[in-house]
Amino acid sequence: MKRLLYFCAPLLLIAALLYWGDRLAARLLDAELPGILSRELGIPVTLGPTRVRLLKLVVSSPELVMGNPADPAIHATNVSVSLHWSDLLKRELRLRQASADRLTVNLARWPGNDDPWPTDYSFLDPYLPDQLRLEHGLYIADERHYPVAVAHWQRQADGASLDWQYTLDGVPLAVRASLKSLPDLLRLQRLQLQLAVTAKDKSDSRISADLTIQPGTASGYQLSALVAAAGMQARIDSGNRESWTLPEQSSTHIKALDIGSLRTLLDHYEPAEPGSGTTAATAVLPRLDLPAHQGQLNIGELRWHKQVGTDTVLNFTTGAEGITLPSFSSHGAAGDLSGSARLGSSASGWRLDLIAQITAAEAGQGLAAPFLDSQWTWHAGRARMSAEGSTWQALLNTLQGEVNLDGSHRGEEETPVIIAAKLDNRPTELALEELDIQLAGGQIQGSVSLSGDAQRRLSGKLSAQHLDLNTLLPPTTDTDTAGIALPAFLQALPEMDMDWQLEFSDLQVRLVHL
């Protein structure tokens, strides 16, 4: 009988622990854990009734609050964390898995003190789980909200990865970040990070970046980034003399950039048209309250359709009142472009000021390889423009200034071209007045305007005389169809109404296969 009792007693004890142990552990955690966390973290912690599963070492709670419950620094719902017996046997406490339905983080509500910031955060390593899953999250910084969804954190050897979904202006994005060394990050040493962003269901919208942040010897840091998107690659070198601040200077180098490909990429991230009859053209422009920064952008070859610029350099500064380009320059087929610009921002909208000029390139160089397909070449010119408005449409409609260009067109033969026009400040339309084009021994004069809100209207009143348009057309081939080829710029125009008054005298144009 005694042997039976000796055998059954441990079994009964284990059964009792299995039945009552979870409850006893939960009561113990409810009583002690909030106080322990409050003392360790230096912030009030409120924990909902816990549920414990001792065999699996899983603790869950319907709610976790850090800080003032009315305005917390951290608020999580349906929280679950798990430990591992192997760690406990080594007298180590390490989170293995964690999950939550919702997590809100507002670090501005975390209590501060006069103590210096730590230089090593390795003490956080045991509390960073091997895996973390989050259904919905919200990060609050400077009163701005950044919602995320379906976030998944996973540690892999020394590294870690984080995947999440984010909606930017109505466009759903998939984001992935891969960290090469988590210990280096916690020790505030060299940081190597890979980022990738893709718009949902648009594989050609991928933007990737390899970032390296090297802390300075005393303070500050240097940041290097390799960015790939739209068939281009950019290298960015930046940094700051102060730690924990945004870069104050940068230098960006791009070997080749196609404006058309870049435009296609940006279209993938364009928000849907605003409701209530508002369009992108009539939406209010944002305030450009930017961090103080000074940078330089270098582009080896800049291409837009068949127009090419080489060795393009833009110097720029940003600040609380907008963007300034103290100087920009680019080499063309026959002339060099240079100038300056400023885009100011205030409560009333944007203000644009631009001055540019083209000077002839050095003679005797011939046509360089990048310019062999260029149809238009310019060896002289100047432009002065200004505009002010609270919407894109208002900004365009208030454009005023003048444009003068002197160059040539490469068709069947080299055709000299001179263009002069004035931009007229009309509140309801973009107007090009006193248009004077001297082309192929003839002349075009008149005015052109673009007006309208939802449905745009392109209007013009032009007169032309002694004009031979054959010089502008490409050479004919046996495969050409009948009629006149539509110019590429007209094919690119969006749907709009046309209202033209045309007067021609002595016009020559080739009709194909009629």
Whole-prediction pTM: 0.79
DSSP reduced 3-state for 129: coil
Task: Give the Cα separation of 146 and 141 in Å (integer).
Answer: 8
Note down the domain range covering 235. 174-270
Task: Give the Cα separation of 168 and 375 in Å (integer).
Answer: 39
Are 104 and 224 found together in one domain? no
Give the number of residues written for the chain: 514
Are 123 and 181 found together in one domain? no
Task: Give the Cα separation of 225 and 426 in Å (integer).
Answer: 44
Task: Give the Cα separation of 368 and 379 in Å (integer).
Answer: 15
> Cα dist. 147→7, 104, 141, 172, 506 in Å?
57, 9, 11, 11, 65
Side-chain half-sphere of 456: how many Cα atoms within 13 Å? 15
**16 inside domain:** no
**Main-chain dihedrals φ then ψ at residue 86, nearest 5 degrees:** -60, -35
Are 29 and 150 found together in one domain? yes
User: Dihedral through CA 344, CA 346, CA 351, CA 357, nearest 10?
Assistant: -10
Paired residues of 157 in beta bridges? none
> Quick one: tokens of 307?
């127009």
Are 53 and 146 found together in one domain? yes
Q: What is the largest CA-CA distance in the chain?
A: 127
Are 147 and 52 found together in one domain? yes
> Quick one: tokens of 338?
């240079």
Are 211 and 116 found together in one domain? no
CA-based angle 155:161:162, to the nearest 5? 120
Where a domain ends, among 241, 270, 299? 270
pLDDT digit of tens for each residue in the chain (514 aa)?
445 444 454 544 555 555 566 777 777 777 887 888 788 777 899 999 988 887 788 889 999 999 988 899 999 999 998 888 777 677 777 888 999 999 999 988 887 766 677 788 888 888 889 999 999 999 988 778 889 999 999 999 899 999 999 988 888 999 999 999 999 999 988 899 999 999 988 878 999 999 999 988 777 889 999 999 988 999 999 998 887 788 999 999 999 999 889 988 988 888 765 554 456 677 888 899 899 999 999 999 998 877 888 999 999 999 999 999 999 999 988 889 999 999 999 988 999 999 999 998 876 554 455 555 667 788 899 999 999 999 888 888 888 999 999 988 877 777 889 999 998 877 778 888 889 989 877 888 888 888 776 677 888 888 888 777 666 666 555 555 544 455 555 554 556 777 788 787 776 665 554 4
Are 70 and 134 found together in one domain? yes
Instruction: Count CB-CB contacts under 10 A for residue 69.
Output: 11
Are 127 and 190 found together in one domain? no
Where a domain ends, among 156, 186, 204? 156
Instruction: Count CB-CB contacts under 10 A for residue 11.
Output: 9
**83 inside domain:** yes
**281 inside domain:** no
Where a domain ends, among 270, 289, 321? 270
**Main-chain dihedrals φ then ψ at residue 139, nearest 5 degrees:** -110, 130
Instruction: Count CB-CB contacts under 10 A for residue 67.
Output: 19
pLDDT at 432: 84
**225 inside domain:** yes
Are 65 and 120 found together in one domain? yes
Are 227 and 187 found together in one domain? yes
Return the H-helix or E-strand segment holding 29. helix 2-41
Return the H-helix or E-strand segment holding 458. strand 457-468
**473 inside domain:** no
CB 53 within 8 A of CB 24: no
The count of domains in the chain is: 2
Task: Give the Cα separation of 277 and 271 in Å (integer).
Answer: 15
DSSP reduced 3-state for 183: helix
> Cα dist. 33→41, 294, 377 in Å?
12, 49, 75
Q: Tell me which residue of 146, 183, 155, 151 sits closest to 164, measured CA to CA.
A: 151
> Quick one: tokens of 348?
């009333």
